[in-house]
Amino acid sequence: MRIDLNTHLIDEAIIIASPNCDLRPAGMLPELIVVHGISLPPAEYGGGHVQQFFSNKLDTSEHPYFAEIADLKVSSHLYIERDGCLTQFVPLNLRAWHAGQSSYQGRKACNDFSIGIELEGSDEEAYSEQQYAVLKSLISCLQGAYKGITAKAIVGHNDIAPGRKSDPGASFDWSRIK
């Protein structure tokens, strides 16, 4: 796995551009990885709904839950499906809209300085072997490119938005990636 530092894209990723991003603050480089868990509809996998959601193309008539999230404009830099398929929505030099109201070690607005990685899953169900393998390789790649991302700077969404978010959930095995 390799990052093209001209395009800020991962060479092994499928690219689906998300409009839900903008520039990072001037001079800001990634210093944090935020691991998320997502499935659409909740606890259902496959179907391409996450990809549609992050690219603002989700058909709200396909499931009642989709009407609840229809107006949200969110994205992530990267998404790892249950089978290990890796998709990139936002170049790493841009700010993806994944963390929302958040803080890490007293710093607010984690989107400014983080890379968001979504895993297809739910808080209650174990993530797959393929996901852990891709995530571990991806983390190594990101740490090689962005020296500010230390082993301690890999957190869950729940860590930067406690009480508001619970993902990646108790089913995520942190020992598999650290």
- Neighbour-count burial for 122-131, b at 16+ CB within 10 Å, e otherwise: bbeeebbeeb
Residue 168 has what pLDDT?
98
Instruction: Determine whether 62 is an active site residue.
Output: no
**Which residues share a beta bridge with 22?**
95
Work out the pLDDT band at 129, boundaries 50, 70, 90: very high
Domain count within the chain: 1
| Catalytic-labelled residue, pool 118, 120, 124, 125 | 118
Which pLDDT score, from 0 to 100, does residue 162 have? 96
- Tell me the average pLDDT across 107-113: 98
CATH number at residue 148: 3.40.80.10
> CB of 95 within 8 A of CB of 77?
no
Say whether pTM exceeds 0.95. Answer: yes
How far is the C-alpha of 39 from the C-alpha of 61, rounded, in Å? Answer: 17
Which pLDDT does position 178 carry in this prediction? 82
Task: Give the range of the structural domain holding residue 137, as residue numbers without chain letter.
Answer: 3-176
Q: In this predicted model, what pLDDT tens digit does every residue of 48-96 receive, in sequence order?
A: 999 999 999 999 999 999 999 999 999 999 999 999 999 999 999 999 9
